[in-house]
C-alpha cells in the first residue's frame, strides 16, 4: 500500500532537494554554528537563506531560498511557521529553482523590428525599451484617453503595473483568474452567504468529517496546505465523496465515487438538496436562525428526486441518497468544496449557488470542520497622490451584460479590443504581465484578432512564452527569487504576513516589475507616485506601521498577528448578520432575482458530443502549473509532456494503442499542433477524454517544452458564457482522433 507521503508528494526536501549533488550533501554536513540565523541553517553549511514566497502558483507558500558561496540559488524549502505550507513545499515550489536556472530565460529587453516583410526582435537597452513603452503610453493617452490602455496580468508583477496604470488613469486591469477560473463561485457564494470564497479557500479540511469534491481534483490540484489537511483527514478516516467523470487520485481515496456524466452536476446537486429537505436531514436550528427561502427551495426541488437525477447524471438513486445521508451525518462538520477552476458549462454561477445552498442547509458555513471565518492583516498603503478618476472602466466594455461581474472580464476586454460597431468603449493597447494568453484564453482566433487590432502591446515576462511572440516590446522580469514584491497578506485562520526579497542578483539584464513600473512612471511625469529609490523602502514603511520591520522579517520570513474580527466559528446560537440584502443566508437569492436571473438554480441540459467525438476534459498534474512550468528544467524532468486518456472501449473501437501518438481534432475542425501520446485507462468514462492543461508549446525558444504534448486551449474554440458574470465555460468542446499526421490538412 502507498504511504500517505507517497500519495501527496509534498515533502520537506522534495524533488530538487533530493537531487542535490554529492558535493552539496557533504557540504551540508559541514560547520553549522554561526550567530546569523540566516547562515548555515538547516544543516547546510555556507548556504545563506533568504525569505521568499512562491510564485509557481497562487497559493503563495512562504519559504527560504538558499544561496551558495557564489551567490547562486541552490534550493528552496518551506517556512515552518507559514500556514500555507507548514514548512513543506509541493514539488512545483521546490522545483522553483528551475525557474531561476532555466537557460531559456529572457535576459535582455527586446524590440520588434520589421525588415521588409520579415519581423524579428532585436536586443535593446532598458533605456531605449522603456522610452519606447512610455512614449506609446503618452501617445495612446493623448489620442484616445488613458482608459484605452488595458493591463492583462496574473501574479505579483501585475500589482506593480496595475499601480502604474491607475496612476496613468486606467482601471482596465484584468486577470484570467476571474472569468477563466473562480469568478462564478465568488458570485454564487456571495449571493448566498454575502461573502465570496477567496484564496486560500477558508475550508476547514483539518477538522472535517466529510469532504465533498465536485470536480475538484485535490492531490492533482496541488494547493499545498489544503492537500496536507486532506491527507491528514484521510489518516483520521474522513468520509470523502468525489464527483468526477474521471477516477481522479482523490477518487481512489474516497468512500463514495460518483462517476457522473459530464455537464450534469447541477441535477445531482438539486437531487441531494431534495433528499436533505424531504428526509429532514438539514440543520434545523441553523436553517431557522440564519437562512431565508427554505419554503421556496423545498417547493423548487420537490420533483427533483434521485430518480429524476439518475436519468440525467447516470448516478444510481441509491448512491445519491446514501451520499446525501453521509453528508448530513457529518454535518455541520462537512464541506461541499466550492472548487476553484469552475468555468465549465456557462451555468457555473448557478452550480456554485447549488453548492453554497447545500452548505447552508447542512449548517457548515462558520462551523468547525466546515468553513471558518477567515481574517487577513490589513497592510496600509504607502502614501501616494490620489489616482485620477478614469472616464470609463471595464464595466462599460460589458455593454450592459453580466451584471454581477465583480471583477474585470478578460474575454470582454479582448472583445473590446476588436473594433466593432457594438463597442462603445474601445481598447487600443495592452500591457501584459504574467499571463500567457495564447495558452490561457479559450477561442484563440478571437485573441489573435484582438492582438492584431491593437496599436501597441508590451509584455513583461520571465520566459519567451507564446505571448511574447506577439509583443512590440518585451521587458524581461527577473524571477520571484531575485526581487522584492508586495508583502503577502492573504486571509487564513489567523492573520499572517510573508516577505519576499531578493535571494540572488538578477540573471542577465532582468529587472523587477516594481522597477519597471517606477521607470515608466517617471517617464510619464508620474514620479510623485514612486517616491522611493528602492521598493524595500515601501515594505519597511508598511512593516513599521504594523509593528514589524524589514530587519525583523528578513530573519523570520513570516509573522503572525492576533485575530481581531471575532471567533473562527459561530458560537452556538450566536447572532450573526450575513452581508446579503436580507442579512441571512439566501436560499432564494434576492440579488439574482433583482438582476433578472433564476433566484434558485435550475438544471438545463448541455450539448452532447456528436457521433465519433468525445468531450474534452482537462485538469492539473501535481508537478506542473498551467503552461508556466513546462520548460522548467527540474519539473520537465518529472513530466515532459501530457497524454490523452482514452477509455479502453473507445481505444478498441478506434484500434488505438497505449503509447501511440495521435492528433486531436475538435468539432470546429481545429487540429492539435502536435501529436499527443495515448494513455488507455478505465479511469476515464467512454464519453470523454482527459488531458493535463499547459503543454503543446509552440515557441521554439522554449527548448524543452517546444512541441511536447498538445494544448487543450487550442481545442477550446467554443465557450458557453455565464450570463451572470461573464465567465467562459470551456468544457463544451468535443474531439475526435487522427491517427495519421494531418500536416497538410492542418495547414490548409
Ligand atoms: N485550456 C485551459 N485554459 C485555462 C485553464 C485550463 O485548465 N485549461 N485554467 C485556467 C485557470 S484556472 C487559470 S488561473 C488561468 C491561468 O493562466 P496564466 O496565469 O496565464 O497561466 P500561465 O499559462 O502559467 O501563464 C503565466 C505566464 O506568466 C509568466 N510568469 C511566470 N512568473 C512570472 C513572473 O514572476 N513575472 C512575470 N512578469 N511573468 C511571470 C510565465 O512565463 C507565463 O508566460 O488559466 C486558465 N485557462
Ligand atoms: N498542480 C497544480 N495544482 C494547481 C494548479 C496547477 O496549475 N497545477 N492550478 C491551481 C488553480 S489556479 C486552479 S483554478 C485549480 C483548479 O483545480 P480544481 O478546481 O480542482 O479543478 P478543475 O479544473 O475545476 O477540475 C478538474 C477535475 O474536474 C473533472 N471534471 C471534468 N468535467 C467534469 C464534470 O462535468 N463534472 C465533474 N464533477 N467533474 C468534472 C476532471 O476530471 C478533473 O478531475 O488548481 C490549482 N492547483
Ligand atoms: S502550492 Fe506549491 S507551487 Fe503553489 S505556492 Fe505552494 S509550493 Fe508554490
Ligand atoms: Mo485558476
3-class secondary structure per residue, 210-260? EEEEECCCECCECCHHHHHHHHHHHHCCCEEEEECCECCCHHHHCCEEECC
Q: Is residue 638 part of a domain?
A: yes
> What is the number of the ligand 2 atom nearest to the C-alpha of 243?
38
> What is the number of the ligand 2 atom nearest to the C-alpha of 92?
1
Q: Is residue 598 part of a domain?
A: no
418 CA to centre of own chain: 26
* Cα gap 237→380, rounded to integer Å: 43
457 and 366 in a common domain: no
* Nearest-10 crossing angle of helices 348-362, 265-278: 20
| Burial profile 223-249: b = 16 or more Cβ within 10 angstroms, e = fewer | bbbbbbbbbebbeeebbbbbbbbbbbb
Q: Is 639 in the pocket of ligand 2 (CB under 6 A)?
A: no
Q: Is 221 in the pocket of ligand 2 (CB under 6 A)?
A: yes
pLDDT of 37 higher than 70: no
- Contact yes or no for 466/435 (Cβ under 8 A): no
- Among protein residues, the one whose CA lies closest to atom 4 of ligand 3: 57
> Domain holding 431: CATH number?
3.40.50.740
Categorize the per-residue pLDDT at 498 as very low, low, confident or very high, splitting at 50, 70 and 90: very high
Categorize the per-residue pLDDT at 743 as very low, low, confident or very high, splitting at 50, 70 and 90: confident
686 and 538 in a common domain: no
Ligand nearest to the CA of 226: 3
681 and 587 in a common domain: no
* Cα gap 451→470, rounded to integer Å: 7
Q: Domain range for residue 619?
A: 614-747
Mutational pocket test of ligand 3: of 221, 223, 340, 492, the residue with most ligand atoms within 8 Å of the beta carbon: 223
Ligand nearest to the CA of 99: 1
Q: Is 485 in the pocket of ligand 1 (CB under 6 A)?
A: no
Categorize the per-residue pLDDT at 39 as very low, low, confident or very high, splitting at 50, 70 and 90: low
Q: Is residue 175 part of a domain?
A: no
Residue 428 dihedral angles phi and psi, to the nearest 5°: -115, -20
667 and 625 in a common domain: yes
Q: Is 10 in the pocket of ligand 2 (CB under 6 A)?
A: no
Ligand nearest to the CA of 622: 2
226 and 87 in a common domain: no
Cβ within 8 Å of residue 248, ≥6 positions away: 217, 219, 220, 242, 619, 683
271 and 129 in a common domain: no
Pick from 642, 589, 610: nearest CA to 718: 610
Q: Is 179 in the pocket of ligand 1 (CB under 6 A)?
A: no
289 CA from centroid of ligand 4 (Å): 35
pLDDT of 374-422, one tens digit each? 999 999 999 999 999 999 999 999 999 999 999 999 999 999 999 999 8
313 and 323 in a common domain: yes
- Among protein residues, the one whose CA lies closest to atom 31 of ligand 2: 617
- Contact yes or no for 336/347 (Cβ under 8 A): no
Residue 51 dihedral angles phi and psi, to the nearest 5°: -70, 145
Q: Is residue 174 part of a domain?
A: no
Q: Is residue 451 part of a domain?
A: yes
pLDDT of 172-181, one tens digit each? 999 999 999 9
42 CA to centre of own chain: 31
| pLDDT at position 14 | 36
pLDDT of 180-238, one tens digit each? 999 999 999 999 999 999 999 999 999 999 999 999 999 999 999 999 999 999 999 99
* Cα gap 578→239, rounded to integer Å: 29
Q: How far is CA 316 from CA 148, 219, 322, 572, 685, in A?
A: 53, 26, 10, 37, 16
Start-to-end CA distance of the chain, whole Å, equals 52
Rounded to two decimals, the pTM is 0.94
- Contact yes or no for 614/735 (Cβ under 8 A): yes
414 and 370 in a common domain: no
Q: What is the 3-state secondary structure (H, E, C) of 263-318?
A: CCHHHHHHHHHHHHHHCCCCCHHHHHHHEECHHHHHHHCCCCCHHHHHHHHCCCHH
Average pLDDT over the chain reads: 94
Q: Are strands 118-123 and 239-243 parallel, antiparallel or unpaired?
A: unpaired
Categorize the per-residue pLDDT at 36 as very low, low, confident or very high, splitting at 50, 70 and 90: low
Ligand nearest to the CA of 694: 1
pLDDT of 4 higher than 50: no
Q: Is 300 in the pocket of ligand 2 (CB under 6 A)?
A: no
pLDDT of 463 higher than 70: yes
pLDDT of 652-710, one tens digit each? 999 999 999 999 999 999 999 999 999 999 999 999 999 999 999 999 999 999 999 99
* Cα gap 507→18, rounded to integer Å: 25
Domain count, the chain: 4
Tell me the torsion sign for CA atoms 80, 85, 91, 92: negative
- Among protein residues, the one whose CA lies closest to atom 45 of ligand 1: 440
Residue 43 dihedral angles phi and psi, to the nearest 5°: 75, 5
> Domain holding 85: CATH number?
2.20.25.90
Q: Are strands 688-692 and 720-721 parallel, antiparallel or unpaired?
A: unpaired
588 and 563 in a common domain: no
Q: Is residue 266 part of a domain?
A: yes
* Nearest-10 crossing angle of helices 265-278, 317-330: 60
Ligand nearest to the CA of 630: 1
Of 558, 593, 628, at which residue does a domain stop? 593
* Cα gap 92→478, rounded to integer Å: 18
Q: Is 635 in the pocket of ligand 3 (CB under 6 A)?
A: no
pLDDT of 353-375, one tens digit each? 999 999 999 999 999 999 999 99
- Among protein residues, the one whose CA lies closest to atom 27 of ligand 2: 215
Q: Is 214 in the pocket of ligand 2 (CB under 6 A)?
A: yes
Categorize the per-residue pLDDT at 143 as very low, low, confident or very high, splitting at 50, 70 and 90: very high
744 CA from centroid of ligand 4 (Å): 35
- Contact yes or no for 142/499 (Cβ under 8 A): no
458 and 427 in a common domain: yes
Q: Is residue 368 part of a domain?
A: yes
Between vectors from CA 710 to CA 704 and to CA 715, what angle results, nearest 5°? 145
221 CA from centroid of ligand 4 (Å): 10
- 29 against 491, higher pLDDT: 491
648 and 681 in a common domain: yes
Q: What is the 3-state secondary structure (H, E, C) of 421-462?
A: CCCCCCCCEEEEECCCHHHHCCCHHHHHHHHHHCCEEEEEEC
Half-sphere exposure of residue 233: CA atoms within 13 angstroms, side-chain side = 29
CB count within 10 Å of CB 218 equals 27
pLDDT of 33 higher than 80: no
Mutational pocket test of ligand 3: of 54, 200, 635, the residue with most ligand atoms within 8 Å of the beta carbon: 54
217 and 229 in a common domain: yes
Cβ within 8 Å of residue 123, ≥6 positions away: 108, 109, 110
| pLDDT at position 45 | 60
Q: Is 53 in the pocket of ligand 1 (CB under 6 A)?
A: no
* Cα gap 500→64, rounded to integer Å: 9
| pLDDT at position 27 | 27
* Cα gap 699→689, rounded to integer Å: 26
Task: Summarize the confidence of residues 501-524 as an average pLDDT.
Answer: 98
Categorize the per-residue pLDDT at 28 as very low, low, confident or very high, splitting at 50, 70 and 90: very low
- Among protein residues, the one whose CA lies closest to atom 8 of ligand 3: 93
400 CA from centroid of ligand 2 (Å): 30
Tell me the torsion sign for CA atoms 615, 616, 619, 621: positive
Task: Summarize the confidence of residues 11-38 as an average pLDDT.
Answer: 36
Task: Summarize the confidence of residues 447-473 as an average pLDDT.
Answer: 98
* Nearest-10 crossing angle of helices 126-144, 513-523: 60
- Contact yes or no for 428/453 (Cβ under 8 A): no
Residue 300 dihedral angles phi and psi, to the nearest 5°: -60, -40
629 CA from centroid of ligand 1 (Å): 9
| pLDDT at position 422 | 86
Which pairs with CB-CB distance under 8 Å and at least 24 residues apart come from 514-519?
514/160, 514/483, 514/484, 514/485, 516/130, 516/160, 516/161, 516/460, 516/475, 516/477, 517/160, 517/161, 517/163, 517/164, 519/126, 519/130
Categorize the per-residue pLDDT at 46 as very low, low, confident or very high, splitting at 50, 70 and 90: confident
> Domain holding 630: CATH number?
2.40.40.20
| Burial profile 379-413: b = 16 or more Cβ within 10 angstroms, e = fewer | beebeeeeeeebeebbbbbbeeebbbbebbbbbbb
* Cα gap 748→740, rounded to integer Å: 16
Q: Is residue 401 part of a domain?
A: no
CA torsion angle 673 676 682 686 (round to 10): 30
Task: Summarize the confidence of residues 595-599 as an average pLDDT.
Answer: 98
Categorize the per-residue pLDDT at 1 as very low, low, confident or very high, splitting at 50, 70 and 90: very low
Amino acid at each position: 500500500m502507498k504511504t500517505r507521503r507517497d500519495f501527496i508528494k509534498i515533502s520537506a526536501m522534495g524533488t530538487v532537494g533530493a537531487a542535490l549533488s554529492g558535493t552539496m550533501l557533504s557540504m551540508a554536513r559541514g560547520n553549522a554554528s554561526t550567530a546569523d540565523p540566516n547562515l548555515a541553517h538547516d544543516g547546510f553549511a555556507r548556504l545563506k537563506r533568504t525569505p521568499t514566497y512562491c510564485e509557481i502558483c497562487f497559493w503563495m507558500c512562504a519559504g527560504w531560498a538558499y544561496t551558495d558561496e557564489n551567490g547562486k540559488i541552490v534550493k528552496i524549502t518551506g517556512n515552518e511557521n507559514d500556514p500555507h505550507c507548514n514548512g513543506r513545499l509541493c514539488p512545483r515550489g521546490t522545483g522553483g529553482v528551475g525557474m531561476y536556472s532555466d537557460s531559456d530565460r529572457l535576459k535582455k529587453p527586446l524590440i520588434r523590428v520589421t525588415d521588409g516583410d520579415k519581423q524579428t526582435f532585436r536586443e535593446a537597452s532598458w533605456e531605449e525599451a522603456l522610452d519606447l513603452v512610455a512614449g506609446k503610453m503618452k501617445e495612446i493617452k493623448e489620442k484616445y484617453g488613458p482608459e484605452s490602455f488595458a493591463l492583462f496580468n496574473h501574479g505579483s508583477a501585475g500589482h506593480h503595473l496595475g499601480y502604474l496604470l491607475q496612476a496613468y488613469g486606467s482601471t482596465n486591469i484584468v486577470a484570467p483568474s476571474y472569468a477563466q477560473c473562480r469568478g462564478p463561485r465568488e458570485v454564487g457564494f456571495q449571493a448566498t452567504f454575502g461573502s465570496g470564497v477567496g484564496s486560500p479557500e477558508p475550508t476547514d479540511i483539518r477538522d472535517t468529517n466529510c469532504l465533498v469534491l465536485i470536480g475538484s481534483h485535490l492531490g492533482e490540484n496541488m494547493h499545498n496546505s489544503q492537500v496536507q489537511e486532506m491527507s491528514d483527514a484521510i489518516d483520521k478516516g474522513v468520509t470523502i465523496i468525489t464527483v468526477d467523470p474521471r477516477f481522479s487520485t482523490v477518487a481512489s481515496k474516497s468512500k463514495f465515487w460518483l462517476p457522473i456524466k459530464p455537464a450534469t452536476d447541477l441535477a445531482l446537486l438539486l437531487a441531494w438538496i431534495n433528499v436533505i429537505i424531504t428526509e429532514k436531514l438539514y440543520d434545523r436550528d441553523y436553517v431557522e436562525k440564519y437562512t431565508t427561502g427554505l419554503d421556496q427551495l423545498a417547493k423548487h426541488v420537490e420533483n427533483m428526486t434521485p430518480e429524476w437525477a439518475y436519468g440525467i447524471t447516470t448516478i444510481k438513486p441509491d448512491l445519491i441518497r446514501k451520499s446525501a445521508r453521509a453528508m448530513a451525518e457529518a454535518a455541520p462538520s462537512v464541506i461541499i468544496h466550492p472548487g476553484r477552476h469552475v468555468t465549465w458549462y456557462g451555468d457555473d454561477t448557478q452550480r456554485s449557488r447549488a453548492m453554497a445552498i447545500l452548505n447552508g442547509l447542512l449548517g457548515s458555513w462558520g462551523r468547525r470542520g466546515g468553513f471558518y471565518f477567515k481574517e487577513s492583516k490589513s497592510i496600509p498603503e504607502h502614501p501616494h497622490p490620489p489616482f485620477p478618476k478614469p472616464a470609463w472602466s471595464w464595466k462599460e466594455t460589458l455593454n450592459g451584460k453580466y451584471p454581477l461581474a465583480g471583477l474585470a472580464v478578460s474575454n470582454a476586454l479582448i472583445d473590446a479590443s476588436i473594433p466593432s460597431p457594438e463597442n462603445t468603449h474601445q481598447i487600443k493597447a495592452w500591457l501584459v504581465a504574467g499571463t500567457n494568453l495564447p495558452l490561457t484564453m479559450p477561442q484563440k482566433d478571437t485573441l489573435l484578432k484582438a492582438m492584431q487590432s491593437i496599436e501597441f502591446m508590451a509584455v513583461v515576462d520571465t520566459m519567451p512564452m507564446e505571448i511574447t511572440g506577439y509583443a512590440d516590446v518585451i521587458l524581461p522580469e527577473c524571477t520571484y527569487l531575485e526581487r522584492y514584491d508586495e508583502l503577502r497578506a492573504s486571509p487564513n485562520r489567523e492573520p499572517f504576513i510573508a516577505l519576499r526579497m531578493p535571494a540572488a542578483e538578477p540573471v542577465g539584464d532582468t529587472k523587477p516589475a516594481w522597477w519597471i513600473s517606477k521607470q515608466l512612471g517617471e517617464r510619464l511625469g508620474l514620479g510623485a507616485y514612486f517616491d522611493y529609490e528602492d521598493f524595500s523602502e515601501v515594505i519597511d514603511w508598511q512593516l513599521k506601521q504594523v509593528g514589524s520591520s524589514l530587519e525583523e522579517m528578513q530573519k523570520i520570513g513570516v509573522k503572525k498577528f492576533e485575530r481581531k474580527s471575532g471567533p473562527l466559528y459561530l458560537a452556538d446560537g450566536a447572532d450573526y448578520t450575513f452581508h446579503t440584502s436580507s442579512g441571512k443566508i439566501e436560499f432564494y437569492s434576492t440579488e439574482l432575482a433583482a438582476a433578472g436571473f433564476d433566484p434558485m438554480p435550475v438544471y438545463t441540459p448541455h450539448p452532447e458530443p456528436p457521433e465519433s467525438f468525445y468531450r474534452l476534459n482537462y485538469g492539473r498534474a501535481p508537478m506542473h502549473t498551467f503552461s508556466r512550468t513546462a520548460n522548467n528544467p527540474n519539473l520537465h524532468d518529472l513530466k515532459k509532456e501530457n497524454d490523452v486518456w482514452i477509455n479502453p472501449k473507445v481505444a478498441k473501437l478506434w484500434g488505438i494503442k497505449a503509447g501511440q501518438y495521435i492528433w486531436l481534432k475538435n468539432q470546429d475542425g481545429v487540429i492539435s499542433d502536435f501529436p499527443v501520446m495515448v494513455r488507455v485507462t478505465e479511469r476515464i468514462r467512454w464519453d470523454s477524454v482527459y488531458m493535463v492543461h499547459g503543454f503543446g508549446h509552440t515557441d521554439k525558444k522554449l527548448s524543452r517544452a517546444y512541441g511536447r504534448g498538445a494544448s487543450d486551449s487550442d481545442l477550446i474554440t467554443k465557450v458557453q458564457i455565464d450570463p451572470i458574470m461573464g465567465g467562459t465555460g470551456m468544457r463544451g468542446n468535443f474531439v475526435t482522433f487522427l491517427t495519421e499526421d494531418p500536416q497538410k490538412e492542418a495547414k490548409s
